[in-house]
Amino acid sequence: MKWDSRMQQQVFGSNTSMLSETQILDMLEEANSKTAMKNSKKFEKTRRVLVRILDIEWLSSDFGALYTTLASSISDPLFRNDLIKILISQQSYTGQIVGKILLPYMFYWLVIMAFYSALMQESNYGTFWDDSYTLAARLIILFFQLVFFVFESMQMRTLKWEYVHNMWNWLEFVSFCFHLFIVLQHGIKFLDMSFELLIMLSSIAVLLLYMKLFYWLRLFGGLGFYVRMVSETIYDIGDFIILFFMCVFTFAHAIFVLNRNSPDDAELYGAFFGWKPVDAIVSQYFLGLGEFAYDTFEASPDRALVWIYFLVATFLTNLTFLNMLIAIMGDTYGRVMESAETEGLRERTHIYADFLWVISLDKTYDNKKYLYIVTPVEEDDEGGDDDWEGGMAKIKKSIGRNHKKLVTKMNDQASTFGHNQESMLEKLETLNLQQYNLEVNFEKKIDAMSNQMAHITNLMTSMGAGGGRRA
């Protein structure tokens, strides 16, 4: 098939499963709105292609339901399905969501950050109308709060009970409550609350705002994959974290009890919160991170036991547990890296499902019965791929490539050995024939020499008998 060397995988829909090569090329040109395949002959060359046909009649025109179903699914194999991957990757609504939702949100984000960081002052606490800049910021924030409340209501209507199963929705709900309370409290002061406490709540609200940015990063393929990796890593280390903190609590409790023998000016742990049980736990946590505070150990009457606790605790937390943590994270990294494309599509699908009501769905495959996927057949690319891969994926790919090389080399060597063996056999047969001829000739020469010797002996005998008679 003539194939534009610049094209990779191409996809188009059709209502028939019987298309000729010419029809496939025409459909590709129509689907991609390109004329290079006809006008740029220098880019054309003969290449083998793989044409796959997928039945999509069951989807009808309800692609919105597809995204909703995928968003509520926890099945990894579902996102590895060729049909699902192609449909999601070929229909990108990122631009629509950025323009209609993300950009207004970022404007709101900047305004509320300015409000928390500079405009919210103790001097204008409880005065809603006095300061013009603060008033404008409050009104903008309250307007967007109302808009985002409508957005969340639309998501609830679309996702129904699946809405409450998503942690991002809970983050949005908590963040909404914090912002609304802080803005109204600062403006009208409906509760008798100190400004210091309000600032503390504002700090938490800022933290929630930055966490919300991670939600939007999922919209973009590469960033969404890393957000997924972080969440998977946290999930995988959950059980390990329980063991780690059990170890911390074990030595914290032992040191807490032993500290009762120490003088007040030489306690075995620092005063972090002013409550000794918590101080002991924080001290052991710092010990696990490498903060070695052992200045007061020598003043303890139980310094030998304290040093034993110190050595065992550092061996377990610093050397054993933290290295196990690194190993678990490395395993998760490799596993998620192997399915980087799939994980990126999964995160993007969740965003699409959240905002189905605001995007205009692509009508390209509406009422199409079949989906054609045309992919050029690539030879083994020794140059590698620029995209990152997981460690296991690289190992598998390398083993497969080396195995293919080894088999080819062994076949070549076996073929060469076979040719050499045949040549050696021919030469051996020639040598055997030459040896046989030499033996025959040698035997003939021996016989000739024997005959000559016999003839000479007879002559000598005859000559001796004739001489005797003459005498």
Please list the pLDDT of the chain residue by residue as tens digits (471 residues).
445 545 566 665 565 655 665 666 666 565 555 444 444 444 445 566 777 776 666 555 556 666 777 766 655 666 667 667 777 766 778 888 888 889 999 999 999 999 999 989 888 888 878 778 889 999 999 999 999 888 888 878 777 777 787 788 888 899 999 999 999 999 898 898 999 999 999 999 999 999 999 888 888 877 877 888 888 888 888 888 999 999 999 999 998 898 888 887 778 888 888 888 898 898 888 888 888 877 778 777 888 888 898 899 989 888 888 889 889 988 888 887 877 777 777 777 878 877 877 777 666 566 666 777 777 766 554 444 444 444 555 556 666 667 677 777 777 777 777 777 777 888 878 888 888 888 778 888 888 888 888 878 888 877 766 555 544
The pLDDT value recorded for residue 95 is 85
- Of 281, 308, 339, the residue that ends a domain is 339
> Does an H or E element contain 375, and which?
strand 370-376
Give the SS3 label for residue 7: coil
The pLDDT value recorded for residue 154 is 80
**130 & 163 share domain:** yes
In a domain, 183, yes or no: yes
Please work out, in degrees rounded to the nearest 5, the angle formed at the alpha carbon of residue 365 by the alpha carbons of 90 and 60.
125
In a domain, 408, yes or no: no
The one-letter code for the residue type at 321 is F
**202 & 249 share domain:** no
In a domain, 154, yes or no: yes
**200 & 108 share domain:** yes
Lookup: tokens for 352: 């699409």
**106 & 139 share domain:** yes
Distance CA 337, CA 226 (A): 9
- Taking residue 421's Cβ as centre, other Cβ atoms within 10 Å add up to 10
Distance CA 452, CA 464 (A): 18
Residue 53, beta-bridge partner list: 372
Lookup: tokens for 423: 């040549």
How many structural domains does the chain have? 2
Distance CA 53, CA 38 (A): 25
In a domain, 65, yes or no: no
The pLDDT value recorded for residue 47 is 62
> Does an H or E element contain 415, and which?
helix 391-470
The rounded radius of gyration (Å) of the Cα atoms in the chain is: 42
User: Cα-flanking dihedrals φ and ψ of residue 147, to 5°?
Assistant: -65, -45
- Taking residue 428's Cβ as centre, other Cβ atoms within 10 Å add up to 10
- Of 187, 217, 247, the residue that ends a domain is 217
Lookup: tokens for 185: 């409290």
The pLDDT value recorded for residue 39 is 45
In a domain, 303, yes or no: yes
- Of 339, 366, 393, the residue that ends a domain is 339
CA distances to 298, 411, 427 from 419, rounded to whole Å, are 83, 12, 12
Distance CA 19, CA 25 (A): 10
Residue 14, beta-bridge partner list: 370
User: Cα-flanking dihedrals φ and ψ of residue 69, to 5°?
Assistant: -65, -45
**259 & 335 share domain:** yes
Distance CA 69, CA 92 (A): 17
In a domain, 20, yes or no: no
Distance CA 421, CA 412 (A): 14
Residues 6+ apart with CB under 8 A from 250: none
Distance CA 335, CA 252 (A): 35
Distance CA 296, CA 278 (A): 19
In a domain, 416, yes or no: no
Domain range for 332 is 236-339
Handedness of CA 212, 214, 220, 224 (dihedral sign): negative
The pLDDT value recorded for residue 427 is 80
**193 & 244 share domain:** no
In a domain, 137, yes or no: yes
